[in-house]
Amino acid sequence: MAFAYHDDRLFVEDVPLADIAARFGTPCYVYSRATLERNWRAYDDAFGSRRHRVCYAVKANGNLALLNILARLGSGFDIVSRGELARCLAAGADPQHIVFSGVGKGAAEIRYALEVGIGCLNVESGAELARIESLAADCGRRAPVSLRVNPDVDPQTHPYISTGLHENKFGIPMAAAAQLYEQAARSPHLAVRGIACHIGSQLTSLVPFVDAIGRVMELVHALAGRGIRLQRIDVGGGLGITYRDEAPPAIAEYVRAVSDAVGRDYELVTEPGRSIVANAGLLLTTVEYLKATPVKNFAIVDAAMTELIRPALYQAWHDVLPVERTDSAEVRRYELVGPVCETGDFLANGRDLALAEGSRLALMDAGAYGFAMASNYNARPRPPEVLVDGKFVHLVRAREVLEDLWAGECTLPA
């Protein structure tokens, strides 16, 4: 295990977290290269020899060093903006192995994607298809497209991260897809590659994935009957992880299930984000104050919803581990809260911990949707990101300095 105690000290790979806290300060995100690579390889190995591409979903964590490590393994990427495309290219990704998702691609984003030779645009509406066609005609390129359909399957996850229900904003309704495919197939400016779906995030059961793919494959076969033969089936991302007591299938089980549901006649694309980076990262924090009120014990720490918004946004659970286990303080039940001026600014509720001022804690499984969703609210500079590789420690993003907070702003002339 990349995160483990040795003599009551919590390590990341071969490095004690206390050393990282001493060197870089807190709050600080810490990532394990070995865990990142193990998770990506679990997908790639499970696919074996079948035609496939693992396209890491950049929105989960877009740090350049992480993207570069994945690109070196041969990963593709799933992006949702021109900024993410630029990040991937800066990290050395092959544009042919990038798929562009998202309901609101702007004209400049589509043009940029076509200019760099994007692998596929996953189209989410008839209006977007028409826009892509006309931009492709303008720049004299044939745009590679898949239609992202909405299979109307309940993923049984938190409503904010469900995307595959017909009431969600995502995807093209199944009933409308066939006609759009016929339109796309006739266009000299579009190259129809395949079909895509993505039904939600943090799914802990295979059933919704298999149901959704079943519906998608019915459409694929119907299209083949009309002479439209699709090459690639993009099954999206969304496999869950264990934050607390969830029991998601192993990556290999997931791969077996989606591979069987698609069949061997197609290239299979997956877009995992969370299941590749979540458990490869943690957020390191320090207790500033202990504050006992008549009803609660608060541990006020130096991290906040600005660094890890998942608890505030989805009532999410993150494990809290002491960086050094000690019996010099009494175990009490604590509410872990940050300094931000919002009652919703909590990181963990009701945890039994032995704390003192200055105690260091690790909020586990913060590699996905941690830094990626961080903000400067309350004028808080964003923390550094540190990557551990065996006994080596790399600062892969520096802590923001105060001047960064107003970069690009100016005052009015006197």
Considering beta carbons, is residue 151 or 238 the nearer one to ligand PLP? 238
Residue 78 near ligand PLP by CB under 6 A: yes
Q: Residues 27, 76, 236, 322: which binds ligand PLP (CB under 6 A)?
A: 236
Q: Is 84 helix (H, G, I), strand (E, B) or coil?
A: helix
What number of other Cβ atoms are within 10 A of residue 296's Cβ?
13
Residue 101 near ligand PLP by CB under 6 A: yes
Residue 310 near ligand PLP by CB under 6 A: no
What number of other Cβ atoms are within 10 A of residue 216's Cβ?
24
Instruction: Tell me if residue 341 is catalytic.
Output: yes
What residue has token string 């002339």?
413
Cβ atoms of 335 and 349 within 8 Å: the answer is: yes
Considering beta carbons, is residue 84 or 271 the nearer one to ligand PLP? 271
Residue 201 near ligand PLP by CB under 6 A: yes
| Near ligand PLP in 129-168, by CB under 6 A | none
Q: Residues 155, 164, 238, 370: which binds ligand PLP (CB under 6 A)?
A: 238
Residue 273 near ligand PLP by CB under 6 A: yes
Q: Give the active site residue among 28, 120, 139, 341.
A: 341
Question: Of 79, 37, 6, 16, which Cα lies nearest the Cα of 280?
Answer: 37
Question: Of 264, 267, 258, which Cα lies nearest the Cα of 205?
Answer: 258
**C-alpha–C-alpha distance, residues 85 and 39, integer Å:** 22
Considering beta carbons, is residue 273 or 370 the nearer one to ligand PLP? 273
Considering beta carbons, is residue 275 or 359 the nearer one to ligand PLP? 275
Phi/psi at 303 (5° precision): -100, 165
Residue 211 near ligand PLP by CB under 6 A: no
- Least distance in angstroms from the C-beta of 168 to ligand PLP: 11
Residue 237 near ligand PLP by CB under 6 A: yes
Residues in the chain: 414
Considering beta carbons, is residue 208 or 237 the nearer one to ligand PLP? 237
Q: Residues 27, 208, 272, 370: which binds ligand PLP (CB under 6 A)?
A: 272
Residue 109 near ligand PLP by CB under 6 A: no
Question: In the numeric block, which tokens belong to residue 22?
Answer: 């001493």
Q: Please, what sign has the CA dihedral across residues 331, 336, 339, 342? A: negative
Cβ neighbours of residue 107 under 8 Å, at least 6 residues apart? Answer: 131, 135
- Least distance in angstroms from the C-beta of 105 to ligand PLP: 12
Considering beta carbons, is residue 277 or 355 the nearer one to ligand PLP? 277
β-pair partners for 173: 150
Cβ neighbours of residue 198 under 8 Å, at least 6 residues apart? Answer: 101, 148, 163, 164, 170, 171, 235, 236, 237, 238, 271
Q: Residues 198, 232, 318, 360: which binds ligand PLP (CB under 6 A)?
A: 198
Piece of the chain touching ligand PLP by CB under 6 A; list 87-95, 267-275, 323-331, 339-347: 267-275
- Least distance in angstroms from the C-beta of 101 to ligand PLP: 4
**C-alpha–C-alpha distance, residues 94 and 231, integer Å:** 20
Question: In the numeric block, which tokens belong to residue 303?
Answer: 């991290």
Question: Of 31, 13, 7, 39, which Cα lies nearest the Cα of 275?
Answer: 39
What residue has token string 């066609």?
133
Residue nearest to ligand PLP (CB): 273
Residue 271 near ligand PLP by CB under 6 A: yes
**C-alpha–C-alpha distance, residues 177 and 158, integer Å:** 27
- Least distance in angstroms from the C-beta of 240 to ligand PLP: 8
- Least distance in angstroms from the C-beta of 259 to ligand PLP: 17
Cβ atoms of 93 and 118 within 8 Å: the answer is: no
Q: Residues 10, 20, 42, 60: which binds ligand PLP (CB under 6 A)?
A: 60
Q: What is the DSSP letter of 14?
A: T
Q: Residues 12, 57, 280, 301: which binds ligand PLP (CB under 6 A)?
A: 57
Question: In the numeric block, which tokens belong to residue 304?
Answer: 């906040």
Cβ atoms of 353 and 343 within 8 Å: the answer is: no
Considering beta carbons, is residue 21 or 147 the nearer one to ligand PLP? 147
Q: Residues 33, 274, 318, 382: which binds ligand PLP (CB under 6 A)?
A: 274
Considering beta carbons, is residue 151 or 338 the nearer one to ligand PLP? 151
Q: Residues 59, 87, 97, 232: which binds ligand PLP (CB under 6 A)?
A: 59
**Active-site residue numbers?**
341
Enumerate binding residues for ligand PLP (CB under 6 A): 57, 59-60, 78, 101, 198, 201, 236-238, 271-275
